[in-house]
Amino acid sequence: KTALLTALCIWEAPAMPASTEYPPFRLGESRFDQGSFYGRLRHFLDVIDPRTLFVSEKRLNECMNLLDQFKNGSLPPGVTNVQAIIHPDTGEKIPMPFRMSGFVPFGTPVVVGLLLPNQTFASTIFWQWLNQSHNACVNYCNRNATKPMPMSKFFQGYLGAVSSAVTIAVGLNLLIKRAEHFSPATRILVQRFIPFPAVASANVCNVLLMRHTELSEGISVLDDKGNVVGTSKLAARHALMETSLTRVVLPMPVLLLPPLIMAMLERLPLLQKHSHLGLPVHSMVCLCAFGLALPVAISLFPQNSQIHVSELEPEIAAATECKILTYNKGL
């Protein structure tokens, strides 16, 4: 299974023999080896392809029908590969901004806003609120949904995530402004880096708050045949730890590289002479950094992570003969 919430993609071509690079389609599994970082990276480069945002409702239904035909063993001739990227627990279509393929296109304007120089108190609050609102919805849509989550829990987590982001960002800004030993130029440069610790800390809070019900209720763990063995709180802890780490790694290149690159570019005669080019260049730098960071960060851990039964609750270990179980990590 995969918990990536994007549109369906389909490849139709004349029948070709399977290769080791592109193995035959297997329902719920990736075309690439998910046991290696490189395989996961190739998989997620497919997943975040923004072209899937333009899949029409008609095309989406056609792909769903093909999946049903595949399950029944009645695929029409000429269809060689089908890949469905939907939530395995809900099977629901997710709004564009909250799909992985929409994370970069919809998230880049927010990153640009976070990195704008000379932020005011109001603009800092606005961009942190917008960023964590987007993250909260992405976290909710990409959660492990084997257990239902009431909307009241969602709003509690959302308020906590936004509050933590705004508090951290505003607090760091105030500290910088009160640092009297900083020159004005140094203060502006340091302020450009404030979004990273603020966003990284808030991202972890966001994941934990938006998915805290997994810790209290547990998530399903499966044996090697895909059968649910039980519900594990310890597996949920592993899942949230891995997801939280990706949320720390993700903003590193997104929020650290653009300030460094822009500091160098702004010294060039071109940008000094044409200051109006600053924002477009800044936006392009952020887009490139975001496009690089996202697949690398989410490829750190397999989507379907494995865990030894000795690391789980005793009742789960006693319920199966399998030594290695699988759980849906979420994103």
Write the CB contacts of 35 (distance below 8 Å, at least 6 apart in sequence).
Answer: 302
What pLDDT, on a 0 to 100 scale, did the predictor assign at position 164?
A: 78
Considering the domain architecture, whether residues 26 and 59 belong to the same structural domain is answered as yes
Considering the domain architecture, whether residues 21 and 117 belong to the same structural domain is answered as no
* Single residue among 65, 93, 121 that ends a domain in this structure: 93
In the structure encoding, which two tokens stand for residue 199, read together? 């966003």
Considering the domain architecture, whether residues 116 and 260 belong to the same structural domain is answered as yes
Domain assignment of residue 233, given as a range? 97-328
Considering the domain architecture, whether residues 106 and 83 belong to the same structural domain is answered as no
Write the CB contacts of 179 (distance below 8 Å, at least 6 apart in sequence).
Answer: 187
**Ranked by mean pLDDT, which of 6-20, 79-93, 187-201, 298-312 comes out on top?**
298-312
- Residue 185 and residue 175: Cα distance in Å, rounded? 16
Considering the domain architecture, whether residues 87 and 110 belong to the same structural domain is answered as no
What distance, in Å, lies between the first and last C-alpha atoms of the chain?
13
Q: Which of 7-11, 87-91, 157-161, 221-225 has the lowest mean pLDDT?
A: 7-11
What pLDDT, on a 0 to 100 scale, did the predictor assign at position 147?
A: 64
pLDDT surpasses 70 at 75: no
Considering the domain architecture, whether residues 205 and 112 belong to the same structural domain is answered as yes
What pLDDT, on a 0 to 100 scale, did the predictor assign at position 87?
A: 54
* Single residue among 93, 123, 156 that ends a domain in this structure: 93
Q: How many domains does the chain have?
A: 2
Total Cβ atoms within 10 A of residue 195: 31
Considering the domain architecture, whether residues 70 and 107 belong to the same structural domain is answered as no
Considering the domain architecture, whether residues 137 and 236 belong to the same structural domain is answered as yes
Of 27 and 131, the structure prediction assigns the larger pLDDT to 131
pLDDT tens digits, 195-246? 787 778 878 887 887 788 888 888 889 888 888 888 999 999 999 999 889 9
Of 25 and 18, the structure prediction assigns the larger pLDDT to 25
pLDDT surpasses 50 at 41: yes
Angstrom distances, CA of residue 22 to CA of 49, 65, 86, 105, 211: 18, 23, 21, 28, 35
- The pTM of the full predicted model, rounded to 2 decimals, is 0.67
Helices (H), the chain: 37-47, 57-72, 103-114, 121-141, 151-177, 184-193, 195-210, 212-217, 233-249, 251-265, 269-273, 278-298, 314-318
Q: List, in sequence order, every residue forming a beta bridge with 130; answer none if it has no partner.
A: none
In the structure encoding, which two tokens stand for residue 122, read together? 């109001």
pLDDT surpasses 70 at 6: no
Are 176 and 184 within 8 A, CB to CB? no
DSSP 42-81: HHHHHHT-GGGGG--HHHHHHHHHHHHHHHHT-PPTTEEE
Write the CB contacts of 122 (distance below 8 Å, at least 6 apart in sequence).
Answer: none
Q: Which of 33-42, 236-245, 306-315 has the lowest mean pLDDT?
A: 33-42
Considering the domain architecture, whether residues 161 and 288 belong to the same structural domain is answered as yes
Of 24 and 258, the structure prediction assigns the larger pLDDT to 258
